[in-house]
Amino acid sequence: MLSTWKSSSNTANAAKKIIVARKEDPQPGSYPLSDPVPAVKTVATEDDIKWRCLASGSTETMTFYMTLDDGTMAFVQMAYSSLGLSPNVGLTCRFYQPDGQKHGKTFNQSAGALKLSNNNLDASCEPMSIQFDTATRRFTVRFTLSSAISMHVTFTPCVDFFKIGDGKSLFGKSERDGFVQACFLPKATLSGTVTVAGVARPATGSGLFHHAIQMKPQNASKWNFVNFQNATDALMLYEFEVPAKNMSDVNIVSQGCFVHKGRLIAVTTSNRAVHVQRLKDEASGYEYPSQLFISWNGTRLDDGADVKIELSMLLGNKLDTIDVLAELPYLLRKFIQTFITAPFLFSWFEKGVKAKVSISGEEDMHIDGDAFVESTFLCKE
């Protein structure tokens, strides 16, 4: 997943159901896990959460995902980019309703329109604002597309914000090869109001937040992102691949976590999202997944017991196919084309999927939930 480029498009494909026959899931050992990285969980501080707005060659995002109790999937994102000739701010809001309707828009502003608080934790840039309460660590997000579509939602943390190690994942041997720095809030309780098509309703459900800073050069070729939620549990996967031609010390970098009954149980770095079956997108030429198998592997935070989680699902409820470059201002688009040839993002929202959780010394358990999935391709190898 390249949350850095989250956007909506008037030309994006309409949500549609695609039916494929399920294949057998891959057996352990038949697919590579992510490269070994110590799964050292660290509580993310305000310094990790605040805006940096770095001056040269970076993209920074705050993204808020919402799985609403009425079956709606939504996200909003504020993105600051210094990749082009002048800094740019992208603002995206997107609603996917259970009946297949979707609403949303991406706005592009100059960086001068972005207003930050003295501590860089609050941000506003029309038509979006983000407020962070340092006492409760709650985020409140507002976005107004029009009088007919708006949101005012508060994210109340169920668990700590966290990062893995210092939060940085390298694209190569050193930071000069590019990196992503990220911190996460994998589960939050939502409250507030969402207005769609002029109808206001309570915004209750589960949320996920992440803050990411990506430094050039852009050496990742693929991203996978999974946000699985139910009322008390959550699973997250944040994974990218580096092409073999880069001669990197790493090929697959993956960060994940498991929340159960409102507690952060495990943070994992030995994971894998396997595209079991694929379909070809004629517009982009990419083969996107139609069946996905995810494996998380780690240890329980409180006692070190082995934790293994498997999630298998057919990807039939496709939300969007997004030509990322088409969403960007012209000068930024031309600049990015020099090092990212053809970025496309595919997304799905699958309801009622089941994850198997195995903890050493305990009986296996199964948890049901709804999964938002993104698969992003940045360049043709």
Q: Label each residue of 66-134 as H, E or C.
A: EEECCCCEEEEEEEEECCCCCCEEEEEEEEECCCCCEEEEEEEEEHHHCEECCCCCCEEECCEEEEEEC
**How many whole angstroms separate alpha carbon 121 and alpha carbon 136?**
13
Q: Is residue 293 a contact partner of residue 280, using CB atoms and an 8 Å limit?
A: no
Q: Calculate mean pLDDT across residues 229-241.
A: 96
* Per-residue pLDDT reduced to its tens digit, 145-172: 888 889 999 999 999 999 999 988 777 7
pLDDT at 246: 52
The pLDDT confidence band at residue 249, using thresholds 50, 70 and 90, is: low
**How many whole angstroms separate alpha carbon 206 and alpha carbon 157?**
10
- Tokens found for residue 356: 């198997």
* Per-residue pLDDT reduced to its tens digit, 294-337: 999 999 999 999 999 999 999 999 999 988 777 665 444 444 44
**How many whole angstroms separate alpha carbon 128 and alpha carbon 137?**
19
Q: What is the pTM of this model?
A: 0.91
pLDDT at 179: 80
The pLDDT confidence band at residue 13, using thresholds 50, 70 and 90, is: very low
Task: Name, in order, each residue with C-beta under 8 angstroms of 304's C-beta and a sequence gap of 6 or more.
Answer: none
Q: Calculate mean pLDDT across residues 368-373.
A: 99
User: CA dist 130 to 61, 99, 103, Å?
Assistant: 12, 29, 21
Mean pLDDT of the chain: 87
C-alpha dihedral sign at 132, 133, 134, 138: negative
Q: Is residue 106 a contact partner of residue 131, using CB atoms and an 8 Å limit?
A: no
* Per-residue pLDDT reduced to its tens digit, 174-196: 777 778 899 999 999 999 999 98
Q: Looking at per-residue confidence, does 77 or 40 come out higher?
A: 77
DSSP collapsed to 3 states, 247-300: CCCCCEEEEEEEEECCEEEEEECEEEEEEEEEEECCCCCCEEEEEEEEEEEEEE
pLDDT at 147: 84
Which domains does the chain possess? 3-377 (2.40.370.10)
